[in-house]
Structure 1
Amino acid sequence: MTVAVMWEARAVPGRGAELLSWARTRELPREPLRRETFRAPQDRVLVITWWDAEYAADLPELPEPDGELVTRAVHRWRFESVGTD
């Protein structure tokens, strides 16, 4: 089964580039099948990692950034793949 773990944070206004750099340089304890990083308006950063694992598996995730860098707690979601179209 393929599981995607999504991590999304919103930087303090004007610090989006710093949050993006922070997220891109965080290493995980083990390598996912794939890792992709996105940015969006309002200084938001999204990281998606793909894993060959069961849905409830204990998978590494990016930590919370320093509270002075973000406007709120990180949002996290987990999805299981149902195939590709």
Structure 2
Amino acid sequence: MTVALMWEARAVDGRGDELLAWAREQQLAPAPLRRETLRAPQDRVLVITWWDAGLDAELPELPEPDAELASRAVHRWRFESVGSE
């Protein structure tokens, strides 16, 4: 089974580039099958990682950034792959 973990944070106003750089520097061990980092308006950063694991597996996740960098708590979701087209 493939599981996707999504991590989304919103930076303090004007610090989106710093949050993006911080997220890119974070290493996960073991490494996921795939990792993609995206940005969005309002200084939001999204990291999606894919794992060969069950939906309830214990997997490494990105931590919370420092409060001076993020304007709110990180949002996290897990999704089970049902195929690709």
**TM-score range for the pair, normalised by the shorter chain length:** over 0.9
Report the counterpart of residue 25 of structure 1 in structure 2. 25
- Asked if 1:72 is matched to 2:72, the reply is yes
Aligned pair count?
A: 85
**Rounded Cα–Cα distance in structure 2 between residues aligned with 1:74 and 1:34:** 20
TM-score in terms of structure 1 length = 0.99
| 1:2-41 equivalences in 2 (<5 Å) | 2-41=2-41
Q: Which amino acid aligns with 1:23?
A: A
Deviant stretches of 4+, over 6 Å: none
User: Please, which runs of 5 or more residues in structure 2 have no aligned partner?
Assistant: none
Give the alignment's TM-score, normalised by structure 2: 0.99
**2-structure distance, mates of 1:13, 1:54:** 37
Identity of aligned pairs, percent?
Answer: 76
Please tell me the root mean square deviation across aligned C-alpha atoms, in Å. Answer: 0.4
For residues 50-73 of structure 1, the C-alpha deviation after alignment (integer angstroms, 9 at most, x for no partner) is 000011000110000001101100
Deviation at 1:84, TM superposition (A): 0.7
Q: How far apart in 2 are the matches of 1:31 and 1:18?
A: 23
Structure 1 unaligned spans of 5+: none
